[in-house]
Amino acid sequence: MNRHFGLRRLGILGGALILLTACGSSSAASTSAASAKSAADMGGMDALIAAAKKEGTLNVIALPPDWANYGVTITAFQTKYGIHVNSAAPNDSSQQEVDAIGTLAGTTRAPDVVDVGMAVALKNVDRFAPYQVATWNDIAASSKEPTGLWVQDYSGAMAVGYDSSKVPAITSIQDLLGSAFQSKVALPGNALGSNQAVNSIMEVSLNNGGSLDDISKGVDFFKQLKSKGNWVNVIGTTATVKEGTTPVLFEWDYNSQVHVKDVSTWKLFLPANPVVAAYAQAINKGAPHPAAARLWEEYLYSNAGQNEFLRGGAHPIRMAAMTAAGSVDAAAAAKLPPVKGTPVFMSDDQAAAANAYLKDNWSKAMG
Amino acid sequence: MTRARRLRLRVFRVIVLVLAGAFFLVPIGAMLEFSTRGNHVGAPRTLEAWTTIVTYPDLLGAIRDSLGLAAITSVAMVVLLLPTMIWVRLRLPRLKRTIEFLCLLPLTIPAIVLVVGLSPVYRWMAINLVDTIFLLSFAYVILVLPFAYRALDAGLSAIDVKTLSEAARSLGAGWGTVMFRVIAPNMSSALLNACLLSVALVLGEFTFANLLSYLNLQVEIFQLGQANAGTSIAVAVASLLFAFILLVILSFVGRARVAPERAGLPFPGLAGGGQR
Amino acid sequence: MIAAGNPDVKTARRPREGGRRFPLHWIGAFPFLVYVGLFLLLPTVIVVVGAFAGKDGPTLSNITELNQEFVLNAFVSSLLVSTASAVVGAVAGALLAYAVATGNPRGVLRRVVSSACGVLAQFGGVTLAFAFIATIGSVGFVTLWLQDRGLNIYAHGVWLTELPGLVLVYTYFQIPLMVLVFLPALDGIRPQWREATESLGGGTWHYWRYVAGPLLAPAFLGATLLLFANAFSAYATAAALISQGNPIVPIAISNFLTSETGRANPGLAQALALGMVLIVAVVMTLYALLQRRTSRWLR
């Protein structure tokens, strides 16, 4: 009896050991992807593609299909590599993206990659893994973190979109305080976490006596807007524009121009010297699908991916290099919305300061 | 009753019922109207919003997951609640007040508060057990407790549990047989009532799924509504009609066996509370 | 009995005579108690404890953070919306319940209305918000219909996404809930009371003022309190209707729940949650007291 018992125990132990080593070896394979800093680390692009295909899935977050043509990009990626893309929470803000990394950590639903505004990227570098894409050298040093913890992918200018059949033509930001704009003006995100919203407020600030270091004039303007009854407390999306709930909406120019297909009378107002800003890609350090995440970045920064951004109306980060090499989509480039004057952008410190100010004061001003 | 009074009463009833009918049917009609609108002013009516429902894989997945959650929650609720209630009735009558209080508690604690407290529990479960949307069933059983308890209690009051169980036990039945083969069939309408209420609640639940980052039917309707209002409203109307038909079926099936409602202020009736 | 003498048949166990009974029976209730303890009581404790927890131990800082203007405004708004929708829902619901109660108790109308109320009381959140946007939103069906007849209901601003709109939308599930809760109370009215009043020379006014009114008052008040608690706890509807800001407490809680950087923090969310629990607990205690009172007469 004893001997049988001992043998059985040994058998179970052996089985467990085999199982553990099997698990160990498979995780060893994926840790090599998780620690790869470039395609070369993985043994070349083909090895990366093979590893990504083996993972089979990619989790992305906060990528609305009509945002800089992300819908087309995602479909193209899926078709090219046969990797299924789970696109979660399309209307989440940059802050909510990094929050999701935290709350879903350890699960298979955690986002593999995020596309966030600069302020959020800078504040959360400890969540990201460094990676340098194949086209690394085409990107200016000021547009990337030296080891590749975050890399900018596209940029655009802040515009005010409006339905010209519902409101008069806008010639300046101050027009929005007029009586014709009762219950019409909205922001495209939550000021406490959306990069788009923060830049909207900064643009207003610049046109209301503020500066890149001072976003308070923007907050004051919105407070005035609310007291006049011109403010709509609904986050503007494609659907609200179509319904008519938000006939005046601050948005990146590449987002705003998409609404023309839903509302034929939709027009854009671009103030002189507009605020521009870029978004940055980053890979989740604890990504459940590390190889697929890296392949996604490779795709976005390839000519195909960058041209998709261009076709969506955004300014791809490799524009200069691609134009020089002749690989840019010339027709799409010609259709980019024109920019009046000299665009300005918040430096990293200014972005951080603006966010800090809003976190302390926005709720107090707007409720 | 005098004729004048009867006439006054009739006029009153007609007015109230017509106004109520209008108030409640107009928004539903408006949803149907909105979901069949064309693309711009003056465009003809179209069923495009409805036909594109099948082109959204996330939506189909969410419908499937929500139906699965509804089924699991109903079964779990019956397995948890029915034996406990029968046991309490037979052996632990002093515990009845406690059970009743515990079942009333989910109405007192708002869902949003429960989510705040449950998110660490859920994170632990997602990492250490399986990470699947069906984990939500654990929370849904709690949300369903007040209504299920009420329905099952009404059913148990209508039959003589003590005699039935003693008779079955004296003939040699084990407790499992007593509960599921003797008592349960005698309160089938109450069981059906409780299950359908659970289904209605789970299909309409938004708070938990949204704040725990799961994609159930209502969350998907909400997210879809930010991109394509027409289709999401079409799905919303469909789910509402589905729940309504379920409950209408309930009211016509098993009418005879349900005990007459006790007058006085009962638990919050058949449904209500929680998922608004 | 046959069973008693037959050794092959197991009879039910008799309770042990004398002495302390070993509480084996309690084990039967364990699964339920453990489950409820884990998924209902534990989260509540987490919230209550978390409201007082800081980075370095127990602290009152979360509670004092509640003393900010936008937080107090959120509480006031929540209370206003809940009271308004509870009162409107209670009155309208009582009238509708009376219209149904005076009909055939087995009739089709009663059954259809009961089922409809069962669904509509549950019908909340996203679907309801969308329904009202489709009805009286900026391009809603009714809005456009009224505009065609020269009446612009939004001449002074879009109120659908403000507190008045919220009250209107809430009544959509408050009225059915009232019907469900109040109908059994109305069923308890005896026709003999009406006859007795009339035989003593009283009319309709006397009947309602001195007989039925006082008897139904506790049930009515209790139902109103229930409606209040219901509206106060509601989250999904407002979340789908109003996406910016912290108009009411549940939305404020969700806004502060997930953000881990900056001033917004889970501690504040838990303090807000604690406040909600206290208010709702008070209301539900009053409700329970009224329930006991009402069961005396309306059996």
Burial of residue A19 (CB within 10 Å: 0-12, 13-18, 19+) is exposed
Mean pLDDT of C50-55: 77
* B213/A103 touch (CB, cutoff 8 Å), yes or no: yes
Residues C108 and C217 in one domain: yes
Kindly report the nearest CA distance between residue B58 and chain A, in angstroms: 9
Q: What number is the average pLDDT over the span C70-84?
A: 91
From the CA of C256, how many Å to the nearest CA of chain A? 10
Q: Read off the pLDDT band of B258 (50, 70, 90).
A: very low
3-state secondary structure of B109: coil
pLDDT per residue as tens digits for the range B155-199: 888 888 889 889 998 998 888 888 888 888 888 888 888 888 888
CB contact under 8 A, B272 and C122: yes
Instruction: Express each pLDDT in B204-228 by its tens digit.
Output: 888 899 888 889 988 998 888 888 7
Predicted pLDDT of residue B260: 38
pTM (two decimals): 0.80
- The answer to whether C128 contacts B276, with C-beta atoms less than 8 Å apart, is yes
CB distance B213–A106 less than 8 Å? no
Chains adjacent to B (≥3 CB pairs closer than 8 angstroms)? A, C
* 3-class SS letters over A168-196: CCCCCHHHHHCHHHCCCEECCCCCCCCHH
Same domain, C37 and C82: no
Average pLDDT (C163-191) is 87
Q: Is residue C281 part of a domain?
A: yes
Q: Is the pLDDT of residue A15 over 90?
A: no
**Domain CATH for B241:** 1.10.3720.10
Same domain, C149 and C236: yes
C42 and C181 in a single domain? The answer is no
The number of folded domains in chain C is 2
Q: Is residue C1 part of a domain?
A: no
State yes or no: pLDDT of C65 exceeds 80. Answer: no
- pLDDT at position B263, please? 29
- C45 to chain B, any CB pair closer than 8 A? The answer is yes
Which of B269, B113, B140 is CA-nearest to residue B205? B140
Q: Which of C162, C221, C179 lies closest to B24 in space, CA to CA?
A: C179
Count of C-beta atoms within a 10 Å radius of residue C284? 19
pLDDT confidence bin for B17, thresholds 50/70/90: very high
pLDDT at A277 over 60: yes
Rounded to a whole number of angstroms, the CA Rg of chain C reads 26
C71 touches chain B (CB under 8 A): no
Chain C residues in contact with B142 (beta carbon < 8 A): 36, 39-40
C74: chain A residues, CB-CB within 8 Å: 367
User: Subunits touching C (CB < 8 Å, at least 3 pairs)?
Assistant: A, B
Cβ contact A297:A237 at 8 Å: no
CB distance C273–B222 less than 8 Å?
no
- Answer yes or no: do C166 and C120 share one domain: yes
For residues C73 and C39, state if they share a domain: no
Chain B 132-191, residues with CB within 8 Å of chain A CB atoms = none
Considering the domain boundaries, does residue B263 fall inside one?
A: no
Whether B191 maps to a domain, the answer reads: yes
Query: Is residue B11 one of the residues assigned to a domain?
Result: no
Q: Is the confidence at residue A76, as pLDDT, over 60?
A: yes
If asked whether residues C226 and C106 sit together in one domain, one would say yes
Residue pairs spanning B and C at CB distance below 8 A = 317
Tens of pLDDT, residues B98-112: 888 888 788 778 888
pLDDT at B257: 40
Residues A245-275 pLDDT 10s = 889 999 999 999 889 888 889 999 998 889 9
Distance from CA of C156 to the nearest CA of B (A): 23
Residue B172 lies in domain = 57-252
Separation CA A305–CA A313 (nearest Å): 13
- Nearest Cα of chain A lies from the Cα of C235 at a distance, in angstroms, of 16
Cβ atoms < 10 Å from Cβ of C116: 21
Nearest CB to B264; choose among C119, C135, C298? C298
Confirm or reject contact between B123 and chain A (CB < 8 A): yes
Q: Is B27–C229 a contact, with Cβ atoms under 8 angstroms apart? A: no
How far C282 CA sits from the closest chain B CA (Å)? Answer: 9
pLDDT band at A28 (very low <50, low <70, confident <90, very high): very low
Domain match, C38 and C126 both? no
- Is residue C21 in a domain? no
Mutation pick from C153, C259, C268 vs chain A, by most beta carbons of A within 10 Å, is C259
Q: What pLDDT is attached to residue B250?
A: 67
The answer to whether residue B19 is domain-embedded is no
When pLDDT is averaged across residues B239-257 and rounded to a whole number, the result is 69
| Contact between residue A168 and residue A180 where contact means Cβ atoms under 8 Å apart | yes
Contact map slice: C 184-243 vs B, CB within 8 A? 184-185, 187-188, 204, 218-219, 222-223, 226, 229-237, 239-240
- Mean pLDDT, rounded, of chain C: 81
- Whether residue B268 has pLDDT greater than 60: no
| Residue C8 domain-assigned (yes or no) | no
Mean pLDDT score of chain B: 82
Residues of A with CB below 8 A from B126's CB? 104, 106-107
Query: Are A82 and A329 contacting, i.e. CB atoms less than 8 angstroms apart?
Result: no
CA–CA separation, B266 vs C180, rounded Å?
10
Which residues in chain C have Cβ-Cβ distances shorter than 8 Å to A111? none
Q: Does A355 touch chain C (CB under 8 A)?
A: yes
CATH number of C233's domain:
1.10.3720.10
In the 8-state DSSP scheme, what is residue B55? G
DSSP summary character for residue C211: I
**How far is B122 from chain C, CA to nearest CA, in Å?**
10
Residues in C closer than 8 angstroms to B276, CB to CB, are 124-125, 128, 170, 173, 230-231, 233-237
Measured between CA atoms, how close is A366 to chain C, in angstroms?
Answer: 7
Mean pLDDT of C162-185: 88
Domains of chain A with bracketed CATH: 36-155+277-334 (3.40.190.10), 157-276+344-366 (3.40.190.10)
The ipTM value here is: 0.81
Handedness of CA A122, A123, A124, A125 (dihedral sign): positive
Mean residue pLDDT across chain A: 86
C232 with C140, same domain? yes
pLDDT at C280: 87
Return the SS3 of A60. strand
In percent, how much of chain A has pLDDT > 90?
48
Contact C229 B34 (CB under 8 A): no
